[in-house]
Amino acid sequence: MTAVASTLNTLFNFLFGLAYGALKWFGPFWSLAGIACLAGILMVWIFGKVSNQAAIERTRNRLSAELIGLRLFKDDLRVFFGIQFQVLAWTLKYLRYSIVPMLILMAPTVIILIQLNLHYGFRPLRVGETALVKVKLRDASAVAAGTSLTLRAPESLRVETPGVRVPDLKEICWRVRGVQDGRFDLIVSDGKDSMTKQFAVGGRLEGVSPIRTGEDWLSCLLNPGEAPIPVQSAIESIEIRYPALDILILGKRTNWLILFLILSLVLGFAFKGVLGVKI
């Protein structure tokens, strides 16, 4: 399953990169706005293709008529409560026609969110900044026993502390400082096997992978930035605690997820008429 997840990650990274590669030069806000626009249009188009549009239109029209009836007969309690029952019945019918398309939309939505988290969740270190590097082992006893786990870095990075062991969490941690701009490989070795982890310092807006893991297929799908760690390795994961990427709007920092959800919903609804989709 992990191999399948890795193959899917390669495919999704390529497809997302087609849009992201063209928009990233506009900066975090405008590139995210462009992706939100494309995602909103895509979701509306898919909804139109997988839903019963004729049934949804009939249900919406009948529901609108019943709501008008509530206003017209608000002084006749018997008719008023009868119409309320009809409103409830037609609302449930609308949900019946909408729930399956919404469930289908969850798959592409999750894929897009995973890719967005890779590119907008974190930012590279600036030159001179430090980050915590955490290596998690599969066997807690190996940490407590003092396994000769080492962390090697190129000259563009500086490992400033010896490894701090946390047996309860099966982790060994170092503090690493970025010295020069670029993408560099940290090398973690237990004396028998070595694993690399990309370390990002400076540069333009690019995807930043905070963790390389091979724990299971789900963890692999959720962290598509690097190839999974082989299951036979004593190392379970290598994590770098990058700073969060905050997008500035009118001088205020905004989380990418909030901005994406708002823009994709607004732009999706704005284009539903152009696409001829009933929601």
Other beta carbons within 10 angstroms of residue 111's beta carbon come to: 18
Give the pLDDT score at 86.
87
Expressed in percent and rounded to 5, the helix, strand and coil fractions of the chain are: 50, 20, 25
- Domains parsed from the chain with CATH numbers: 2-121+253-275 (no CATH), 130-243 (2.60.40)
**How would you class 223 by CB atoms within 10 Å of its CB: exposed for 0-12, middle for 13-18, buried for 19 or more?**
buried
Q: Which structure tokens are listed for 163?
A: 């490894």
The predicted structure's pLDDT at residue 276: 87
Q: How far apart are CA 193 and CA 130, in angstroms?
A: 26
Return the exposure string of 173-193: e unless at least 16 CB atoms fall within 10 Å of the residue's CB, then b. bbebbbbeebebebebebeee
Q: What number of helices (H) and strands (E) belong to the chain?
A: 7, 11
pLDDT per residue as tens, the chain (279 positions):
677 778 888 888 898 988 888 888 888 889 999 999 999 999 999 999 999 999 998 998 898 888 888 788 877 777 778 888 888 989 899 999 999 999 999 999 999 999 999 999 999 999 999 999 999 988 777 676 656 788 999 999 999 999 898 888 889 999 999 999 999 999 998 878 889 999 999 877 778 999 998 767 888 888 898 988 888 888 889 999 999 988 878 778 888 999 999 999 999 889 988 888 888
State the pLDDT at residue 144.
Answer: 64
State the pLDDT at residue 147: 63
Report pTM: 0.87
How confident is the model at residue 146, as a pLDDT?
Answer: 57
Do 50 and 102 form a contact (C-beta atoms < 8 A)? no
* C-alpha distance from residue 24 to each of 17, 19, 119, 150, 251 (Å): 10, 9, 10, 36, 20
